[in-house]
Amino acid sequence: MRRPQPYIRHAFSLIELIIIISIIAVLLTLTASAAFRLLGASGTGATRTLLMRLETRLRQQMTVKADRARETPIPAEFRNDPVFGPLITTYPDLAKVIYVKLRLKADFPVTFREALDPSGGKGIVRPIPAYVQFLKQRNVTLASLGATPQPYESSVCLYMALRHGQDTTTDEETGTGGSVKQVNGFECFVDAWGTPLIFCRTPIGGTNGASLLGSAPNGFDDPSDPKNLLLTPSFYNSGTGPAYQVFSALVHPVLPRNGAPTISRPTLSPVIISAGPDRKHGLADLTRLTVDNSNPPASNDNVLTEKFR
């Protein structure tokens, strides 16, 4: 009599297959998540290192050029201007501050338009010839520019200032970890995720910008006006308001209101920003760094330089 043989399974049941596949999927998800976190942390560290190096170089250049402007007599173009000329006689210290700011604007533009026409059509501040040549070689002229700057313009301008500025004698920053790439035919600094950095000479954000940009350590901070002369109330109430309004509009967007200065940010210190791993900076105006509340980034992962002290 033939005995029954024990049953041997040759395949998993459907339920067992589903369980195994689910376990594998969970393990893959956890592995990918850990890998992305590691890459994100590595990218953030590399970007912070880049920003620190760029900030150091930028601080050195701005200090040299601001000191030089303070020591230089205000040129005839300013003295002959019908608005600025009388201001030099009445408020020479304030006039010097505005002159320094205009010089820094020419040396450290944040848009192509600023690079080509730093005095907004007044002709009192000449553009840096190397910047004009750099942009001309890439078919950029005032006539070709649109009303709104492109998102990469400030990064191109930062690269241009550090590489082609009058006092620049080193290509040190251009080889920092592959941080210089071409975007639409322009060399610019990019973060670890390939997104162009944002450079702002005078960040004037809204109230909500404080959480994005941080705040100055000790009250108002303006490196190009260390004595805060442009905040002197008597300056606004002495009949020179129109002169200040004309020229403050050229150097930064702080204007007096009702005879008193209105400033929404605690600092005018330059800042360099990376949009972070999500590649979204959450800014509405890249030249003033105002926050876009209607389209915030997925996470507040922006990487910023420390403020100039």
pLDDT 10s digits, 171-202: 554 444 468 888 888 999 999 889 899 888 87
pLDDT score recorded for residue 206 = 41
Written in H, E and C, the secondary structure of 220-245 is CECCCCCCCHHHCHHHHCCCCHHHHH
Whether the CB-CB separation of 245 and 256 falls below 8 Å is answered with yes
Q: Distance between the two ends of the chain, CA-based, in angstroms? A: 98
Whose structure tokens read 């006092």?
Answer: 167
Whole-angstrom distance, CA of residue 62 vs CA of residue 32: 43
Q: Strands 260-261 and 256-257, how do they pair?
A: antiparallel
pLDDT score recorded for residue 124 = 85
Whether the CB-CB separation of 275 and 281 falls below 8 Å is answered with yes
Region of residue 185 (left: phi > 0; alpha: psi -120 to 50; beta: else):
left
Tokens of 257: 């209101």
* Closest by Cα among 159, 103, 273, 119 to 205: 273
Question: Which backbone phi and psi does 57 adopt, to 5 degrees?
Answer: -65, -40
pLDDT score recorded for residue 139 = 94
Alpha carbons within 13 A on the beta-carbon side of 182? 4
Element (H, E) at 39: helix 14-71
pLDDT score recorded for residue 161 = 93
Whose structure tokens read 């399974």?
Answer: 9
Low-confidence spans in the chain with pLDDT less than 50: 38, 169-170, 173-177, 205-219, 239, 254-266, 308-309
Q: Around Cβ 68, how many Cβ atoms within 10 Å? A: 14
pLDDT in tens, 124-181: 888 999 999 999 999 999 999 988 889 899 999 999 999 887 655 445 544 444 688 8
Burial environment of residue 209 by CB neighbours within 10 A (0 to 12, 13 to 18, 19 or more): buried
Query: In 145-186, where does DSSP find H-type helix?
Result: 153-164
pLDDT score recorded for residue 261 = 47
* Residues 6 or more apart whose Cβ sits within 8 Å of residue 122: 81, 250
Domain limits, the chain: 17-304
Whether the CB-CB separation of 57 and 108 falls below 8 Å is answered with no
Whole-angstrom distance, CA of residue 293 vs CA of residue 309: 29
pLDDT score recorded for residue 18 = 74
For the chain, the farthest-separated pair of C-alpha atoms sits apart, in whole angstroms, at: 125
Its sign, for the CA torsion 203, 206, 210, 213, is: negative
Q: Around Cβ 276, how many Cβ atoms within 10 Å? A: 25
Residue type, 183: V
